[in-house]
């Protein structure tokens, strides 16, 4: 006796397995979409101060100097002082990247000081 492919008991089992797998994939995708992304740290005065201090310490040495005054650095400090942290941070990070420095990750709210 020959069984047609669509009528075999195995065919029904495969169809059920395929449907279960598709259902599982749909649930996993839905769960992945529902998980909120990790919160990004908001720009802060501490981060501004940290980056400006880092730039002042490492970016203005004799080998890395842009001259007597770096107006972009001054503008970044003013932006931070005027509570425009995102703009100040973006400016100082660009200065650091332009000088081929690696921008340090956010850390404590206070910059490191040599004492």
Residue 28 inside a domain? The answer is yes
For residues 15-31, give the mean pLDDT.
58
Alpha helices in the chain (DSSP H): 9-34, 45-54, 71-81, 85-98
Residue 32: predicted pLDDT:
45
In a domain, 18, yes or no: yes
- Structure-model confidence comparison of residues 30 and 44, the more confident one: 44
pLDDT digits (tens, 9 = 90+) for 50-96: 999 988 888 776 666 655 568 889 999 999 999 999 999 999 999 99
52, 22: one domain: no
Cα dihedral 7/13/19/20 (nearest 10): 170
Residues 26 and 61 in one domain: no
Does residue 66 lie in a domain region? yes
CB 75 within 8 A of CB 37: no
Please indicate, yes or no, if residue 114 is contained in any of the structural domains.
no
* 51 and 82 housed in the same domain: yes
Structural domain for 29, as ranges: 7-34
In a domain, 2, yes or no: no
Q: What predicted TM-score, i.e. pTM, was given to this entire model?
A: 0.54
Per-residue pLDDT band for 105 (boundaries 50, 70, 90) equals confident
Residue 67 φ/ψ region, left for φ over 0, alpha for ψ in the -120 to 50 degree band, beta for the rest: left
How many domains does the chain contain in total?
A: 2
pLDDT of residue 29: 53
Does some domain include residue 69?
A: yes
């Amino acid at each position: 006796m020959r069984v047609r492919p669509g009528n075999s008991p195995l065919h029904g089992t495969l169809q059920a397995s395929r449907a279960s797998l598709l259902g599982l994939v749909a649930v996993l995708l839905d769960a992945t979409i529902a998980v909120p992304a990790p919160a990004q740290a908001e720009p802060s005065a501490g981060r501004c101060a940290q980056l400006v201090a880092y730039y002042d310490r490492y970016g203005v040495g004799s080998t890395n100097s842009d001259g007597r005054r770096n107006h972009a650095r001054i503008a970044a400090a003013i932006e931070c002082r005027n509570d425009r942290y995102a703009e100040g941070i973006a400016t100082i990070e660009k200065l650091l990247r332009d000088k081929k420095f690696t921008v340090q990750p956010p850390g404590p709210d206070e910059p490191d000081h040599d004492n």
